[in-house]
A and B are shown apart, each in its own frame.
Chain A
Amino acid sequence: MNHGSGGSLAGKLIRNIFVKRFGMDEPLTDSAVLKENGLLLAFTTDSYVVDPIFFPGGDIGKLAVCGTVNDLSVSGAMPKYISASFIIEEGFSFHDLALIADSMSSEAKNAGVRIVTGDTKVVEKGKCDKLFINTSGIGMMKSGFETISSAMDVKPGDKLIINGPIGNHAIAVLGARKELTFSSPVTSDCASLNHLINNVLEECSEIHFMRDLTRGGLATVLNELADMIFSGIIINESTVPVEEPVKGLCEILGFDPLCLANEGKVLFVVGNEGHQKVLDVLRSHPLGKYSEVIGEIVDNGRNMVILNTAIGGRRIIDMPSGMQLPRIC
């Protein structure tokens, strides 16, 4: 199970089993950039297996559309077309399926993409957990951003900016699980970020890297970035936005907010000169109201991610190794 959680074990699974056999190019990025007849396309795929299917702020369908739209957007592409494949457990409610389809349709409209093809399979009861969705997407690369996912333009002094508070999706999903004895006011941040990202790319310069935060949280993205750029990253804990209810839950369950899943957050790495403009553009959009500069790229000879803690100490932010487990001790 930990191999599906987006951290270091997931990375190992993907590299050891799939990458070399499929002849894929490293570094692996959110989307593959393909050249065909002079056209530059981005192509991505993802599968969604969330439990519960419906949670505050969204459902598995909305998650699927947003996830694919975001993977294309952070690769520098305009998302255009999506496919949707469903593996449905026997006995799954038609009513719920219709609700999910409505949700996907609504989110696709919101994002300005079309769902153009798909597939449906029904499997016996017990062979899948209610519903699995796979979405693949195609987008047109925006000129000048073809290599943004490689982080090749990232340099020491660049600032890291995030578009809002982290951890909401993980906590919303946890809170929606019926068997747990807490109720949380937190809603998932699940959202299509393409319009927000497009505003930034159109109006700002010096955008050196983008990646959306998903399962492994901010800690995963930071460690992946540090590995790609062979430089260090410093994050200031007091500037990382975390909402109070998320903080409280992390304290009581022993979670690290940096390792929690998100579905509507993007990390930008921006040249120092350009970072204020990026902040302004982000903050003028509803999905970026609470954007903050959270750290910078540093040249310290090691590719580590260091946290300056809010109380004046320092520690390393490691790649999360698997799912976070709630603790009592």
Chain B
Amino acid sequence: MCLSIPAKVVDIKGNMADVSVGGTIFKAGLQMVENVKIGDYILLHTGFAIQKISEDEALETLKLLNEIEDAMNK
């Protein structure tokens, strides 16, 4: 639930990050996520990063979706 949007980390100062959603910069508290680097995507919710988005899993999901479709077409 809840509005939570993938946002790109563009700057980190201590446990606060500047994150970008389409060019608008929000502040995100990093108290709940570890090893965040500039360039990572996090889920932004009410001023906090609540999770890091896994690039690998994202690619895996999209690959899987294309494979389901191919398998059904055989």
Q: Spell out A's residues near B (CB within 8 Å).
A: 171, 175, 181-186, 244-249, 251-254, 327-329
Q: With the chains together, A247 CA to B20 CA distance in Å?
A: 12
Q: Does any Cβ of A come within 8 Å of B42's Cβ?
A: no
Q: Is the CB of A245 within 8 A of B24?
A: yes
Interface residues of B in 1-59 (CB under 8 A from A): 1-3, 5, 7, 20-27, 44-47
The contact of A328 among B3, B7, B22, B27, by CB within 8 Å, is B3
Q: Is the CB of A254 within 8 A of B3?
A: yes
In the assembled complex, how far is the CB of residue A9 from the closest CB belonging to chain B, in whole angstroms?
Answer: 25
In the assembled complex, how far is the CB of residue A254 from the closest CB belonging to chain B, in whole angstroms?
Answer: 5
Chain B residues near A184 (CB-CB < 8 A): 23-25
Q: With the chains together, A182 CA to B24 CA distance in Å?
A: 7
Which of B3, B22, B27 gathers the greatest number of chain A CB atoms within 10 Å?
A: B22
Q: Is the CB of A182 within 8 A of B5?
A: no
Which of A181, A183, A251 gathers the greatest number of chain B CB atoms within 10 Å?
A: A251
Q: Is the CB of A183 within 8 A of B24?
A: yes
Q: With the chains together, A278 CA to B40 CA distance in Å?
A: 44
The contact of B24 among A185, A254, A327, A329, by CB within 8 Å, is A185
In the assembled complex, how far is the CB of residue A260 from the closest CB belonging to chain B, in whole angstroms?
Answer: 14
Q: With the chains together, A245 CA to B22 CA distance in Å?
A: 5
Q: With the chains together, A90 CA to B49 CA distance in Å?
A: 44
Chain B residues near A186 (CB-CB < 8 A): 24
Q: Which residue of A lies closest to B23 (CB)?
A: A245
Q: With the chains together, A181 CA to B5 CA distance in Å?
A: 16
Q: With the chains together, A167 CA to B38 CA distance in Å?
A: 29
A/B interface sample: 25 pairs, CB < 8 A = A171-B24, A181-B26, A181-B47, A182-B24, A182-B26, A183-B25, A244-B23, A245-B21, A245-B22, A245-B23, A247-B22, A248-B5, A248-B20, A248-B22, A249-B22, A249-B24, A251-B3, A251-B5, A252-B3, A252-B5, A252-B7, A252-B24, A327-B3, A329-B1, A329-B3
Chain A residues near B46 (CB-CB < 8 A): 328
Chain B residues near A244 (CB-CB < 8 A): 22-23
Q: Which residue of B lies closest to A185 (CB)?
A: B23
Which of A184, A245, A248 gathers the greatest number of chain B CB atoms within 10 Å?
A: A248
Count, A-B residue pairs, CB within 8 A: 55
Q: Is the CB of B21 within 8 A of A249?
A: yes
Interface of B is mostly: strand
Q: Is the CB of B25 within 8 A of A182?
A: yes
Q: With the chains together, A229 CA to B72 CA distance in Å?
A: 48
Chain A residues near B7 (CB-CB < 8 A): 252
Which of B5, B21, B44, B45 gathers the greatest number of chain A CB atoms within 10 Å?
A: B21
In the assembled complex, how far is the CB of residue B25 from the closest CB belonging to chain A, in whole angstroms?
Answer: 5
Chain B residues near A328 (CB-CB < 8 A): 2-3, 45-46
Q: With the chains together, A249 CA to B20 CA distance in Å?
A: 10
In the assembled complex, how far is the CB of residue B1 from the closest CB belonging to chain A, in whole angstroms?
Answer: 6
* Given pairs A182-B24, A247-B22, 15 additional interface contacts (CB within 8 A): A171-B24, A181-B26, A181-B27, A181-B47, A244-B22, A245-B21, A245-B24, A248-B5, A248-B22, A248-B24, A251-B5, A253-B3, A254-B3, A328-B2, A328-B45
Q: With the chains together, A244 CA to B5 CA distance in Å?
A: 14
Chain A residues near B44 (CB-CB < 8 A): 252
In the assembled complex, how far is the CB of residue B43 from the closest CB belonging to chain A, in whole angstroms?
Answer: 11
In the assembled complex, how far is the CB of residue B29 from the closest CB belonging to chain A, in whole angstroms?
Answer: 10
Q: With the chains together, A244 CA to B23 CA distance in Å?
A: 7
Q: Is the CB of A248 within 8 A of B1?
A: no
Chain A residues near B20 (CB-CB < 8 A): 248
Q: With the chains together, A254 CA to B46 CA distance in Å?
A: 12
Chain A residues near B27 (CB-CB < 8 A): 181-182
